[in-house]
């Protein structure tokens, strides 16, 4: 009978294997050295062993495993998972599950919580941003009172797949998320908001910027929302094009992450964002 076990891996060797075999996020295809460094975020990296053969690798943090991968010539994905789950019976959460593995893990009693993908586009070369009639654009700088956009964020969560999955966050969580994102992008803040000139109502916003620690120095869009009564007027497309143009002075690529099933994905593709592999987050039933 085959024996499966985890074996502690050397971080550097593990990083090379993970970068090559894990089909990692789209933005990590651009630079080899940065991909390696980004992979070394923990020393809890392990080879999946079958007897004395190295068949795969995984990062394991308590009851959670991240970004598992298989190493050729081994090719039986079902056996890989059966072996891993047999030698690690405490696994309850699996993040970064490739679509090839979703059905297999469902047969082992796991369920999909959500599926996401990274999307990237060139910062330059987009359509010229034209402000929709009756609206004015403003920069969302350090001195801005973020309580003014609290309600916009709250309304922005309504509808769509994220709302169906998680509902609307409470007021405290919204403020916490806003504060966190603006701190992350403080190095190069590109955030904006849009106001109805007549009513002086904030109708949409985009929280974006470049983090000092962002892999490859890409610009990132953390939040994009338009309140329901102002949707389908080109406001979101305008903000995306504006962020692209603004970011082009500092970087070559803009990235974002979207939940599969979010209708905004159609808009992102229209504006020029290219989707990477889909990753599921799964938990034990």
Dist CA 40 CA 3 (whole Å)? 28
Domains, the chain, in order of start with CATH, read 4-108 (3.40.630), 120-276 (3.40.630.30)
Q: CB-based contacts of 97: which residues, under 8 Å, 6+ apart?
A: 68, 105, 279, 280, 281, 282
User: What's the confidence (pLDDT) of residue 91?
Assistant: 97
In order, the DSSP letters of 35-63 are: HHHHH-S-S-EEEEEETTEEEEEEEEETT
> Which of these, 236, 180, 244, lies nearest to 211 by C-alpha position?
180
Q: Hey, how many other C-beta atoms are within 10 angstroms of the C-beta on 101?
A: 20
> Which of these, 193, 187, 196, 206, lies nearest to 244 by C-alpha position?
206
At 126 the three-state DSSP class reads: coil
| pLDDT tens by residue, the chain, 285 residues | 789 999 999 999 999 999 889 876 666 677 778 888 888 889 999 999 999 999 999 999 999 999 899 999 999 999 999 999 999 999 999 999 999 999 999 999 999 999 999 999 999 887 889 999 999 999 998 888 888 888 888 887 776 666 666 667 788 888 898 999 999 999 999 999 999 999 999 999 999 999 987 778 899 999 999 998 999 999 999 999 999 999 999 999 999 999 998 888 999 999 999 998 899 999 998
User: What's the confidence (pLDDT) of residue 170?
Assistant: 84
Give pLDDT tens digits for 216-269.
889 999 999 999 899 999 999 999 999 999 999 999 999 999 999 888 899 999
pTM above 0.85, yes or no: yes
Dist CA 3 CA 86 (whole Å)? 9
Q: In this prediction, what percent of the chain has a pLDDT beyond 90?
A: 67
Q: Cis omega before residue 73 (within 30°)?
A: yes
Note whether 206 and 138 are within 8 A (CB). no
């Amino acid at each position: 009978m085959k024996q499966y076990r985890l074996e502690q891996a050397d971080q550097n060797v593990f990083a090379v294997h993970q970068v090559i075999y894990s089909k990692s996020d789209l933005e990590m295809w651009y630079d080899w050295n940065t991909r390696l460094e980004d992979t070394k975020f923990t020393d809890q990296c392990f080879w999946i062993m079958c007897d004395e053969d190295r068949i795969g690798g995984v990062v394991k943090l308590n009851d959670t495993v991240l970004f598992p991968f298989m190493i050729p010539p081994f090719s039986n994905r079902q056996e890989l998972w059966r072996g891993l789950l047999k030698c690690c019976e405490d696994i309850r959460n699996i993040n970064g599950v490739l679509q090839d593995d979703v059905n297999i893990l469902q047969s082992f009693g796991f369920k999909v919580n959500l599926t996401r993908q990274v999307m990237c586009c060139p910062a330059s070369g987009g359509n010229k941003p034209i402000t929709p009639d009756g609206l004015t654009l403003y920069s969302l700088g350090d001195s801005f009172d973020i309580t003014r956009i609290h309600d916009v964020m709250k309304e922005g969560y309504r509808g769509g797949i994220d709302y169906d999955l998680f509902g609307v966050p409470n007021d405290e969580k919204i403020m916490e998320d806003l504060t966190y994102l603006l701190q992350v992008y403080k190095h190069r803040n590109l955030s904006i908001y849009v106001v109805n000139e007549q009513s002086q109502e904030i109708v949409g916003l985009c929280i974006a910027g470049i983090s000092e620690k962002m892999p490859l120095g890409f610009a990132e869009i953390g939040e994009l929302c338009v309140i329901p009564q102002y949707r389908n007027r080109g406001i979101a497309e305008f903000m995306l094009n504006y962020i692209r143009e603004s970011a082009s002075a500092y970087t070559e690529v803009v990235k974002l992450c979207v939940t599969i099933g979010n209708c905004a994905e159609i808009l992102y593709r229209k504006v020029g964002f290219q989707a990477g592999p889909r990753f599921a987050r799964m938990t034990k039933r």
